[in-house]
Structure 1
Amino acid sequence: MPENFEIAHIWVFWLLPLPFLIYWLLPPLRLKSASLSMPNFGKVQEYTGEKPRSSAMIKRRNFFSFTILTLIWICLLGALSSPQLVADPEMKVKTSRNFLVVADISFSMAQKDWVDNGQKVRRWDGVKSVMHEFISKREGDRMGLIFFGSSAYIQAPFTPDLVTVDAMLEEADVGMAGQMTNIGKAIVKGIEMFDQDTIKTKVMLLLTDGIDAGTEILPLDAADMAKKDSIMVYTIGIGDPNSGSSDLDEKTLVEISEMTNAQYFRAIDTERLNEIYDELNRLEPIEYEEEEFKPKTLLFYYPLAVALFLAIFQSLILSIYKVFHQFKNKNNND
């Protein structure tokens, strides 16, 4: 991820001339000290005609110390200005939709006519393998899971935890919800789940390989209820209706999807189901929003460390100079 160098508080550098202004504008610090008593000072004054006046010892400017202190001040201001590396804003997945998978696990899903990598497997095993990948790609959606046969059961309530949804999918198997295919009841169960949630955008994905065998509520009546609740029901027909082993009712599935402003897809093998999921991702794309927080790497400790190093360096040099000067004076006195 590219990062840009920025200074958070550039105004801090307006304080750069502050020490010099203080030095020039404030009066010098005056300290009183004991004076040397000189005998016959009055006679000397009368003899020379000079009037006594106050005096002070003025230390000479040390160019080395002046330079080091200036550098330390600049480094301290650099630290206070908060230099930092700022990365581009990250795109955050926006959770704004309930996505419900309603999967048929009636006995017909156990037929071994599904082609996966050139081999024939059970319809449910083939569908499940593709659904794992589809669920993992729905990051940002709150997903739910309903399995149905003769009855419909909630396997996973709406949750952003896709790992849990995926695990629930893996645990399910054919026949757990009964032998028959009750599409109308499955849609109604999904509507009940949506009614218990506050998110307005509602998408249902219905997968089935059979014809509705329920008597309590017809699929189209259930679809009409879904339409009134603004639920889009995408339908996927599993298997080939032209084959002798399929009871797929494409006409009903098409009408369900059209009534709810969605689409119908037919999946006859793993490759086609993958294509359908890709198309579904385009129809119902995951929404992103720009994260207000930008990843930042603070760098203030670098100029702060330089200022500390210069302060220690100056103190060390002055100490060495003082020791050397004392040693030199001692040698001169000897």
Structure 2
Amino acid sequence: MFEFGYIWVFFLLPLPLLVYWLVPPLKMRKEALRYSKFHSANEISGNKASTKAWISKRNILQWVMLSLIWISLLTALASPQIIGEPKQKVKTARNFVIAADISFSMANKDWFIDGERVTRWEGVKQVLGEFIEQRESDRLALVFFGSNAYLQAPLTTDHEVVKFMLEETDVGMAGQMTAIGKAIGYSMKIFEGDSLDQKVLLLLTDGQDDGRGLFPTDAANMAKQDSIKIYTIGIGEASGNNAGLDEQTLKEIANIAGGKYFLAEDEAQMQDAYKTLNELEPVEFEEEENAPITLLFQYPLAICILLSFLLAFIRGIVNLLTKQI
């Protein structure tokens, strides 16, 4: 939509006419020839000397040019602009820490994406990247854990950085074991000293806690006291000879910390888990709408400057021709 930012500027449009009518003309003295027979010449010719000052008059072209210059200047001062489509302004609603297991078991090639067999971690990375894009109102952080937990990306609203750090991570970088309790305890430290009340931890693993250090359910109780909600996702097979997933512990963690447990044996179940998580923790927006503005004042200002140069050029040519005559 086109509009003027300062429409009241156009009330100044008749200002030059008011100045022309109300302000007296500028008087300038010129050299004159004193002639002793001046009055006699007037009587003979029948003319009468005028007592008024002579006022130079501008031609029509000059009046038109000056009018266009004034209108262009006022149009620029009125700030013409185009208002774009209003958009909701994204609000930082919560801190969201993603703690992902990158122990050696995540290298198992039992997932399929587009008919191609891939490792669990490759499948998780692809779906997790799509999930990160959807969390546009959250501050995200990445924690990866194996034998120990490590911070890969601190809390930030720059989700492109988070996705880049996710892509740069591979299996085994944090050790070969699975320290679930350490991962929860380390993630809690990231929330410390933050002003946002909503704190969510998403824990992804395909194994069992190694039993060293902080016990997972004890860590969940500590997170509950700090008002941290924990959602858990179990990766891979939940039953069978090759199953290494401790579903019972993951369910207990989620129940203690007010979250929910999801099982993801393949890509489709993983996407369903994230879809449900988006419904449980919906993206929030501010009520204020932000409309992009494109300023256009430079165009009438350029016309004003060009017309001024053109008028000065024409007057210069006219004066030069007059002197020659």
TM-score > 0.5 by shorter chain: yes
Match of 1:305 in 2: 302
Match of 1:185 in 2: 182
Match of 1:5 in 2: 2
For 1:217 and 1:52, the matched residues in 2 are separated by 114
For 1:46 and 1:310, the matched residues in 2 are separated by 48
Aligned pairs for 1:28-43 within 5 A: 28-40=25-37
Aligned residues: 323
Structure 1 residues 253 and 71: CA distance shift in structure 2, 3 A: same
Amino acid at match of 1:242: S
Match of 1:128 in 2: 125
Name stretches of at least 5 consecutive residues in structure 1 with no aligned partner: none
Name stretches of at least 5 consecutive residues in structure 2 with no aligned partner: none
Structure 1 residues 290 and 212: CA distance shift in structure 2, 3 A: same
Aligned pairs for 1:165-176 within 5 A: 165-169=162-166, 170-174=168-172, 176=174
For 1:315 and 1:111, the matched residues in 2 are separated by 81
Amino acid at match of 1:157: P
Determine which of 220, 235, 244 is the counterpart of 2:217. Answer: 220
Per-residue deviation, 1:234: 0.6
Per-residue deviation, 1:15: 1.3
Structure 1 residues 273 and 56: CA distance shift in structure 2, 3 A: same
Paired residues of 1:95 and 1:141 also in contact (CA < 8 A): yes
- SS of match in other structure, 1:271: helix
Aligned pairs for 1:137-286 within 5 A: 137-169=134-166, 170-174=168-172, 176-179=174-177, 181-214=178-211, 216-286=213-283
- C-alpha offsets along residues 178-212 of structure 1, whole Å, 9 cap, x if unaligned? 33x33223222222222254433211111122333
- C-alpha offsets along residues 116-173 of structure 1, whole Å, 9 cap, x if unaligned? 3334443333323322333344345332222333443334433444444444443331
Structure 1 residues 55 and 125: CA distance shift in structure 2, 3 A: closer
For 1:51 and 1:122, the matched residues in 2 are separated by 111
- C-alpha offsets along residues 91-122 of structure 1, whole Å, 9 cap, x if unaligned? 44333432211222334334333333334443
Per-residue deviation, 1:288: 3.6
Paired residues of 1:206 and 1:233 also in contact (CA < 8 A): yes
Paired residues of 2:87 and 2:291 also in contact (CA < 8 A): yes
- SS of match in other structure, 1:187: helix
Q: Does 1:73 align with 2:70?
A: yes
Match of 1:94 in 2: 91
Q: TM-score with structure 1 length normalisation?
A: 0.80
Amino acid at match of 1:77: L
Per-residue deviation, 1:235: 0.7
Structure 1 residues 254 and 35: CA distance shift in structure 2, 3 A: same
- SS of match in other structure, 1:23: helix
For 2:21 and 2:146, the matched residues in 1 are separated by 91
Match of 2:80 in 1: 83
Structure 1 residues 141 and 321: CA distance shift in structure 2, 3 A: same
Provide the identity percentage.
Answer: 48
CA root-mean-square deviation? 3.4
Paired residues of 1:238 and 1:268 also in contact (CA < 8 A): yes
For 1:187 and 1:230, the matched residues in 2 are separated by 13
Amino acid at match of 2:190: M
For 1:46 and 1:188, the matched residues in 2 are separated by 116
